Amino acid sequence: MRGGELGTKTVGIIGVGAIGSRVTELVSAFGAETIGTKRDTTTVPDALDQVFPADEYHKILTQADYVVVACPLTDETEGLLGIDEFRLMSRESVLINVARGEIVDQDDLVRALQHGLIDGAALDVFDEEPLPPDSLLWDLSNVVVTPHMAWTTSKTTDRWADLIAENYDALTASSPKNITNRVL
C-alpha cells in the first residue's frame, strides 16, 4: 500500500461552515487546492481557493480528488449523494463524511465502492449508529470506519461551558447574531 501526496490534490468541501472552514485551513497547509460550497458565498475563508453556491455541489464532485462532506443535515441535504453523484466523481476520488450519515445514500455508496466508481471512503457517520456488525462497509478494503467520536476530547466539556457562557452573554446583550452554532 502506498500513500499519496495531498499537496498535488484538490480537496472539495461540501459545506464550508465552521468544520468545513477548518478542514480548508488544514489541507491548504499541505498545498492542496481547496474548493467548496457555501450557502452564503459573500464570506469565504482565506484558505478556500474557489467557492460555489450550495446548490452547485456537483462542480465539487467533478473536480475534487477528495470530497469532504461537512454540511448540516437538512431536508435539502438528506440523500444528497447517491449513485448519480458517485458517477460524477473520478474513479480515483475518495469520499470523506464527517457530517451526518443520512446525507449519503449508504447502499449506493457500498455499490460505488464495490464497483470501483470511486476509490475509497473514510466514514465517521452512518445511517445507523453504531454501524451494525453485518454492514458491508466493515468488509470493504477501501473503507476506513471511525466511531463518530471526533468531537470528543479531554477538553470537550470545558469548550461546551465556554460556548454556552459566550452565547448566554450574546443573548442577554440582545446580540443574537453573535451566537455561535446557531440553528437557522
Closest CA to 86 of 70, 56, 106: 106
Closest CA to 123 of 91, 148, 92: 148
Eight-class DSSP state of 31:
T
Cβ-based neighbours of 122, under 8 Å, separated by 6 or more: 94, 95, 96, 97, 143, 144, 146
Q: Which three three-digit cell numbers place residue 141?
A: 478494503
Catalytic residues: 100, 129, 148
Nearest 5 degrees, angle CA 147-CA 96-CA 40?
Answer: 115
Q: Is 13 left (phi over 0), alpha (psi -120 to 50) or beta?
A: beta
Which run of H or E residues covers position 18? helix 18-28
